[in-house]
């Protein structure tokens, strides 16, 4: 698998990442072992997790698999902190909480450092400079080698990156931003992606297959065993089962038929080549799904198909994003 630099840094990652959202919950140790081994043998390096996935279970399972299955130094392990199971406060990015969460993640992972440590979401109740100081401390102490953010809107990303570059004594810069991005969700193109491109920040798209909908599996209903049939994940899938999404899925399916490939491969190949994208994070639930995703390495979409998919999935961007001078 080819590798790319993560933003304007020296860190190189495989141009497809392996997500662990369902590990230790819907994905057991046997399947997780198969997924990680298959990914590593294909040249994959970036493995993404978070301290809240399965209440820490995903990190713990990944840590167990690092003990003998895959050499630690062969992987770029990314985790997140800042989400909290508190009904009154969804996020806590205070310095104290973040650094304690990082230490807990390292213990579960069984490693002395993570390659990429990400703030899971913006916390309006904590001063941004306090959050970013925690990132500096993590890098300076050797517990994290690079840092990033997740689920920051455009102005939040720009403010955070600018503070890191300009603040006296700041030791690090934001390497990445992880956001949902797919043919079914192109909202990042409004402000987040332009900011990331200007600031040299790599984009790590989550849910690159539109929460599984772009595979075409929901075209004739919800199949048993799918995320849409899962008690935990059905609300996650439902927003992408509307009529507008259906038109995009049909266009992907038509393109796949014409190229003699699968809708999954078309959707991933389209996203992988978008400007600013470093590595889509694929949350495969079976070895077959992962192998299909890994086969995208050999696929390049013809320009006319890419343009057709651009057109059918194009979001509506008006003032102040474009054409404002004609108003």
Render each residue's pLDDT in the chain as its tens digit; 327 residues. Answer: 999 999 999 999 999 999 999 999 989 999 999 999 999 999 999 999 999 999 999 999 999 999 789 999 999 999 999 999 887 889 999 999 999 999 999 999 999 999 999 999 999 999 999 999 999 999 999 999 999 999 999 999 999 999 988 877 767 899 999 999 999 999 999 999 999 999 999 999 999 999 999 999 988 777 776 767 677 778 888 889 999 999 999 999 999 999 999 999 999 999 999 999 999 999 998 999 999 999 999 999 999 999 999 999 998 877 777 655 544
Q: Are 101 and 72 in contact (CB under 8 A)?
A: no
Instruction: Say if 190 falls within a structural domain.
Output: yes
Instruction: Say if 239 falls within a structural domain.
Output: no
Q: 182 — phi, psi (to 5°)?
A: -165, 180
Nearest to 228 by CA among 253, 209, 211: 211
Instruction: Say if 236 falls within a structural domain.
Output: no
Instruction: Say if 292 falls within a structural domain.
Output: yes
Instruction: Say if 259 falls within a structural domain.
Output: no
- Cα maximum dimension of the chain: 63
CA distances from 59 to 37, 39, 115, 280 (A): 16, 17, 14, 20
Q: Chain centroid to CA 276: how far? A: 13
Q: Among all residues, which ones are annotated catalytic?
A: 53
- Number of structural domains the chain divides into: 1
Question: Which CATH number fits the domain that encloses residue 147?
Answer: 3.20.20.100
The label of the residue with tokens 């399947």 reads 31
| Strand 114-119 to 144-150 pairing | parallel
CA distances from 311 to 206, 222, 229, 251, 316 (A): 22, 27, 31, 10, 11
Instruction: Say if 184 falls within a structural domain.
Output: yes
Instruction: Say if 71 falls within a structural domain.
Output: yes
> How many of the other CB atoms lie within 10 Å of CB of 115?
21
Instruction: Say if 228 falls within a structural domain.
Output: no
Full domain range(s) for residue 114: 3-212+266-301
DSSP letters spanning 221-240: S--TTSGGGSTTTHHHHGGG
């Amino acid at each position: 698998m080819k590798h790319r630099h993560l933003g304007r840094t020296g860190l190189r990652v495989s141009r497809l990442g392996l997500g662990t959202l369902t590990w230790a919950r819907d994905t057991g140790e046997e399947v997780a072992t198969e997924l990680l081994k298959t990914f590593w043998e294909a040249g994959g390096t970036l493995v993404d997790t978070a301290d809240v996935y399965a209440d820490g279970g995903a990190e713990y399972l990944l840590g167990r698999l690092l003990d003998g299955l895959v050499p630690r130094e062969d992987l770029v392990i990314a985790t997140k902190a800042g989400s909290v199971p508190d009904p009154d406060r969804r996020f806590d990015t205070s310095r104290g909480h973040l650094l304690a969460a990082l230490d807990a993640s390292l213990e579960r992972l069984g490693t002395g450092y993570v390659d990429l440590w990400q703030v899971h979401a913006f916390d309006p109740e904590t001063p941004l400079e306090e959050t970013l100081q925690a990132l500096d401390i993590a890098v300076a102490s050797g517990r994290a080698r690079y840092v990033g953010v997740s689920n920051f809107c455009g102005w939040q990303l720009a403010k955070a990156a600018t503070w890191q570059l300009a603040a006296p004594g700041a030791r690090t810069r934001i390497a990445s931003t992880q956001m949902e991005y797919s043919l079914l969700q192109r909202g990042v193109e409004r402000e987040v992606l332009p900011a990331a491109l200007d600031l040299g920040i790599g984009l790590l798209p989550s849910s690159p297959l539109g929460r599984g909908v772009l595979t075409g599996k929901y075209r004739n209903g919800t199949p048993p065993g799918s995320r849409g049939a899962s008690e935990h994940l059905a609300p996650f899938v439902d927003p992408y089962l509307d009529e507008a999404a259906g038109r995009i899925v049909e266009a992907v399916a038509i393109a796949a038929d014409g190229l003699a490939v699968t809708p999954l491969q078309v959707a991933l190949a389209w996203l992988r080549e978008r400007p600013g994208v470093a590595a889509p994070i694929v949350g495969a639930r079976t070895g077959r799904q992962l192998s299909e995703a890994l086969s995208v390495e050999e696929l390049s979409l013809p320009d006319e198909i890419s343009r057709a998919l651009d057109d059918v999935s194009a979001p509506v961007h008006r003032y102040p994003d474009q054409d404002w001078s004609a108003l």
